[in-house]
């Protein structure tokens, strides 16, 4: 039996791999894009397929030690807000188009992300509250 080589995309740094949505004015998640954004292709939406590890964080101990005394440590990262399965609206001009195994993707830097839509289960107690109050989550 012969083993097959399997390819995998690994997203690096503060980048997000997005499967673009084929839509014009209204996304499947219910976001309406104004005609100015659609016509000029300023904003685009899609589904997050994979997320990089985040922004690298320097180790504070590196500043105190001499370079020759450092021990190799695993890099530390500040994770991104985006998660696999989120719908992301981003600035189109910052995205890079790629094709991998006959599928089109966009690589989007975290700085180009405008908004994330995350579907989550809602408790019955929360559903009786005003929908607008729970729609925006700034805690992350």
Enter the pTM of the model.
Answer: 0.69
Q: Secondary structure of the chain: what % helix, strand, coil (to 5)?
A: 20, 30, 50
pLDDT of 19 above 60: yes
pLDDT digits (tens, 9 = 90+) for 53-81: 999 887 766 665 566 665 667 788 999 99
pLDDT of residue 42: 82
Q: What is the CATH number of domain 15-57+74-120?
A: 2.30.33.40
Sequence-separated (6 or more) residues with CB below 8 Å from residue 87: 21, 27, 28, 29, 31, 45, 46, 47, 48, 116, 117, 118
Beta bridge partners of 81: none
pLDDT digits (tens, 9 = 90+) for 109-136: 999 999 999 988 776 655 545 555 555 5
Q: Of 121, 100, 51, which Cα lies nearest the Cα of 79? A: 51
């Amino acid at each position: 039996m012969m083993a097959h080589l399997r390819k995998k995309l690994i997203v690096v740094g503060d980048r997000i791999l997005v499967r673009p949505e084929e839509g014009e004015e209204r996304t499947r998640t219910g976001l309406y894009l104004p005609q100015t954004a659609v016509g000029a292709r300023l904003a685009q939406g899609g589904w997050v397929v994979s997320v990089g590890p985040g922004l690298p964080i320097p180790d504070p101990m590196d500043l105190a030690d001499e370079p020759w005394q450092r021990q190799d440590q695993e890099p530390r990262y500040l994770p991104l807000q985006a998660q696999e399965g989120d719908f992301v609206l981003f600035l189109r001009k910052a995205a890079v188009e790629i094709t991998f195994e006959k599928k089109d993707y966009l690589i989007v830097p975290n700085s180009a992300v405008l908004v994330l839509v995350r579907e989550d289960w809602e408790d019955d107690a929360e559903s009786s509250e005003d929908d607008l109050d729970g729609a925006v989550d700034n805690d992350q």
